[in-house]
Structure 1
């Protein structure tokens, strides 16, 4: 009888093992752990300077060196932050990482750049890689809300300005201000700030110090936009 009961329990154990349920359970655990690790890293970077980005490393290996010095946003002329928002994401203070109006417009008009917010660009620059792929976009879509949840809007601007590429091998607003105009970032004028913001779509193909007609026109629009968002309060979320 004892042997029969033992055999019965063994048979039930075999029957009860469900591979799909086991795999699903471990996948869920892996996802939970991954999200926890990402959230912890994002939380730390809410106050601690992130390491050099993957793209910076690529460029440093290609060029031999890059120019990059981290600077607090308090040491950057306020007009630079306004110019950046006017150029890249005018509704920055009003969204949670994704500008749904811009996304709908981009889909309707068949272009993509205008739909990418500063929050998304910051996530891509700091945590991911350049280039188009569904995997990168999926990771960006997951991490962006976490950044918006943990970081302040001012912190997003600060990090973006410190990791953005402004010319070949020139990363961050400290290096850019000195490279183009020979001034520290807290001495940037409204015109200089607008020109720096204007090179961001194509930092290797445009020059803030030697702007062509197209860049001058774009910079003039950015300068007007920076003044407008200050007047109408759209810069309140990142201003002191």
Structure 2
């Protein structure tokens, strides 16, 4: 069984976590699951930053040097710049680099996406969660994931085949998968992600909805043609926030 240190080392080389034993360890370890989400979100920000259109570099024509005006300095002359001055310059450069990275990070943070776009993007990063199966996750795993979300869920909601702590808009939330009529159904419980009205979701081969619910919202996504209306009512009656 892969341990956390080996998992994180392998994840550095393959942020998709498609390496052998990766999905199993991530499903069982909430800490590594959240770490995976942060790594994948960081990969998205890097990819977005690399897509910036930049103008071609143009080097200006420099004037020819008039050697008659060049003054030679004597060998061994000490620099007029003191150690304190060099330290001040170094500190200024470090501060500028830090501010630049913070500006880029804030500009390309996933929270800049709409909630609907971020939900659909999240699904694309975890295709392994959508396995057709009749095997439910353990009650301990489900309880551990739900406890982190400031929420509760009724045990008779259906067969939960996947339960993992994930990150949406910087918040750790439960990512559950139920088994529907036409295939797996994704359920994202998002306390504190308040919306004014229901939002329709349309992705590649999937459709669903984000429903407002008290101080949060719930995303329900299934394959196209999956009947979700009755499930929506059942889920709303099964979930409660403790915030």
**TM-score by shorter chain over 0.5:** no
User: Which has more strand, going by share of residues?
Assistant: 2
TM-score, normalised via structure 2 length: 0.29
- Indicate the structure whose relative CO is greater, using CA pairs within 8 Å and at least 6 residues apart: 1
User: Which has more helix, going by share of residues?
Assistant: 1
TM-score, normalised via structure 1 length: 0.29
